[in-house]
Amino acid sequence: MSNASQGGGGFGPPQQPPPQPTPGHGYPQSGPGYGYPQSGPSYPAAPPVAPGYATPAQPNNSMGTTGLVLGIIGLVCSLTFFLWFFGVVLGILAIIFGAVGRGKAKRGEATNKGAATAGLVCGIVATVVLPLLGLVAFATFVGSANTF
């Protein structure tokens, strides 16, 4: 069942060494035509920018977008009973970021005046309106519980 030339476990040394790879197979050691050329024509450098013709600054829409995101999250947190405190805090932050974003949009530094306005409105609703409605609902519930 077992060959006498094999060691323990049925695995023995190979009978002959593996063949050496022949030239031309595998990766070339070096040679022309492979990879990027070492030298050759290159593109000329860009001409310098004339004074007074600088590229315009990109609009910075981060404040308005941040105000919108915080306002939406604040609204969702204000609607839940356990997270209303976070909703108020996020609503205050949304009011701040929304107001700064609207100011940047009016000065022409940003292009998302609508998102900043929506963040401002969502922040006001999350901070003032929903907690006020919750307080009124709680007061109504407590007042009606005392009449029974």
Q: Which residue has the higher pLDDT, 45 or 78?
A: 78
Residue 33: what pLDDT? 57
The mean per-residue pLDDT over the stretch 109-123 comes to 95
More confident residue, 45 or 137: 137
User: Quick check: 89 and 128 in contact, CB under 8 A?
Assistant: no
Tell me the residue type at 76.
Answer: V
Distances (CA, A) of 69 to 64, 79, 120, 122: 9, 16, 10, 9
pLDDT in tens, 82-113: 888 999 999 999 999 999 999 999 999 999 99
Q: Which residues of 19-58 are buried (b: 16+ CB within 10 A; e: fewer)?
A: eeeeeeeeeeeeeeeeeeeeeeeeeeeeeeeeeeeeeeee
12 Cβ partners below 8 Å, 6+ apart? 3, 5, 6
Mean pLDDT, range 73-81, rounded to an integer: 90
